[in-house]
Amino acid sequence: MLTESNTILNAPAETVDADQSILKISVVIACGVLLSALTSYLFSSGYLLWGFISLILLSVMLVLQNFFIKGFDKLFIAAFLEAVAGAGFFYADFSGTLAIIVTVMLVVLTKSFFDVRHELEASIKVRFWKICRVSLSATFPALLLFFLALLSVRGNFFTETNFTNFILKPTSPIIAAYLHDFDPNKNTKEFITQMLVNNFSETDKQILGKLPPAAKNEAINSLVNKFTTNISNSTGRAINLNKPISTNIYETIVSAYNKMTGNSKNLAIIIGVISIYYLIVSVMPILYLPIALVAFILYEIILSTGFAIVQLEYRSREVIVLK
């Protein structure tokens, strides 16, 4: 590995684990700030897929920052500039809520940088994959929540399209395990009819089979209307059988939220944020490998170009230095 060869070739034992090249540190911070601003622009402009890709690159840059920047003061400046840049294209919606979101992001980034520096200082060798895991497990979910929160402040996040594409469709296989043939785009009447028919007992099926087609359809429609009325009474909102399932679910959630009082709304938001956070954490094992692999490739390229080198500190501990 390049890290090992660099350790052998550059091994004066008087190296101090401290920032040495302010110019290179500025370049690293500038890259993080620019990627944060780019991600902000893409999300604020509605390019959610490109925004997510830019978010991954920003996460990679934060991993590299953890390796290359030593001083806590410089890490705090980097976290501050990146948090501010991340909200840069949302300042037209400036409010107290936006300021709180930026502050929370600053705290999370600072805490992540501190944890990684502590881990590096406690290690004899530079354990890239462990450091990468420590960094990504904190920063990636926080960054994704950060930009989702900014979209929510603008009112561009919890739309029917986003709800369907980013919540209902990804969870459809899980829902379909309990509600067979569930499809967010399916007509609501068709889905309820199919669900009720699938749950008929053998006796019910025999009775319906003996009925004329018109009487059979009338009996099924009566059951569908009764089932729909029960749901409407429970949710406090009429179900439109001619709309897709996703539309009815979305409109029911929005209607229930709008009927809440101030404290109830805050509680609902907190529960929603926690749910989204754990959903992100649950898929992190899938996302971790490709993000860490990209970070590792860039890390090795940077070492091979001499922009940074691995040396032995006076205590025979490997350190990464920008010289």
Tell me the pTM: 0.68
pLDDT in tens, 201-214: 888 777 877 878 88
User: For residues 117 and 69, what is the distance between their CA atoms, to the nearest angstrom?
Assistant: 9
Which tokens is 181 given? 């043939």
pLDDT along the chain (323 residues), means of 10: 43 51 89 95 88 93 88 89 91 78 89 84 79 88 88 75 80 82 88 85 79 83 89 86 91 85 75 80 84 92 84 63 73
User: For residues 45 and 67, what is the distance between their CA atoms, to the nearest angstrom?
Assistant: 32
Q: What are phi and psi of 279, to 5 degrees?
A: -65, -40
Give how far Cα 131 sits from Cα of 111, 184, 262, 309, 322, Å.
Answer: 14, 40, 42, 17, 18
pLDDT in tens, 134-152: 888 888 988 988 988 888 7
User: For residues 129 and 285, what is the distance between their CA atoms, to the nearest angstrom?
Assistant: 13
